[in-house]
Structure 1
Amino acid sequence: MSDFVNAAIAACQEIAALLEEGDSSLYLLHEEGAGGDISNGVDLKAEAICFNRLSPYGSVFSEESGWMSPESSINIILDPIDGSDNFISRLPYYGISIARVTEGNTTEALVCNLANGDIFVRTQNEYYTTTLRASSQKHEITINRSAKIGLFEKAPEHPDLVRKLMEKKLKFRSPGALALSLAYAPYVKYVLFLGTMRPYDIQAGLYLSEHLYVFNDDRYILMCADKELFEQIRSIVEKEYF
């Protein structure tokens, strides 16, 4: 395990401990962040922890503050709390997205689900899952061929596409944390997202699940382990929606 991955996991563990304390300041609203959303106390506190842990390994670009140090040849793309609205609403689907980018190429990435402790890690040499409580134990990530649902992020914004997917009996959920959903892509039938492509939302997740069938442009992201299903959904999106 690299020093960077160790530091990223340590940041996740520190943030998880902070959330367990449940201080009321975590729920306070602040100003609009660099990503365009209103920052909560939890976003800013998690960002500070991540910057402290990760800044020795590259320049940090965060959803909340933008560039926290000057851009360089090694940059860290950070969403300190992906799904912060879920956290505020006590819906257990929120976490942290961290990607290390060297000379324009992602070389290490981690996504942590703070609600259940799942951690997904990919480096140039490894791809595995671990947990907050037993981070020294690595487990192989295998494709779930029994999956019954996909994940369609921002589904309520696309009612016509929702209808077309339901007509084809392509069930889905829309849990509201894109980075997490991209990381969980091997476990579900598909992941679909239409909307603004922000690096802190997608950089880590795209790298983590790059072994799947993936389409990614400025309009939408589609991930699927099954080629036939991938082509079916892409056809629906391309030919019937756009």
Structure 2
Amino acid sequence: MKSSGTWIALIAALGIQAKALGQETYRGVRIAAEVRCTPYDRDDYAYPQSVESQIIAGIGKIYGPYTGQCFATARETDIEHIVSLSEAHDSGLCSASAATKTRFARDVLNLTLASPRVNRYEKGAKDAAEWQPQRNACWFANRTLEVRRKYGLSIDRREAIAIENTLAGCASTEMVVLECGLPAETRNTAQPPRRGNPIDALERWDDNRNGQITCAEARRGRGRNEGATRPRSVPAIATIATR
């Protein structure tokens, strides 16, 4: 168990301020454990699909800031609540009026776009202590605090620590919007390194240009390379079709 001195040092490092009656705040957000004071009903937080056009207008394109992905149409995206509806409910909105809950659900300050995979299966209702995006983490952390301050929502200590760890390394909290239609290397999408290059393999061995490498084409390619300097690595991603 941490000593009182350790907790005081940690709180000071995070910029958490103690107020009257022992209440603590972090960057203007009250620190408190989540409480579901009334049952959560998704229907209390209804919003129209038309709000999606406002999100797109704010970003400037159909773009998912969590992954840096551009989309051809809005049908490929989900409307994503940065502070999830159930998280907001348990952070103070459970006692709010019906009008406030509706206003929160439709507030573009708390809305962005994400692919269905990210919105439904990765982030879901997780808070910033449980999930942060691979891109625009600084924007995400700061926006989480902005939303909580606007609606008087609390934040638990784990999330405050996670957000501070992110913001401590941020030069800016602006959303970075990558250019669409450029190769991944140009857009610097920070994809994990891949072994080999399938394009080079197809150029070398796909004689009939059908996008696949047959066993016969691979044997011919090996024959053409006899006597040549052996490459350091064999392309590992090319698709070899068997007949």
Tell me the TM-score normalised to structure 1 length.
Answer: 0.24
Greater per-residue strand proportion: 1
More helix by share: 2
TM-score computed with the length of structure 2 as normaliser = 0.24
Q: Which has the higher contact order (CA 8 A, sep 6+)?
A: 2
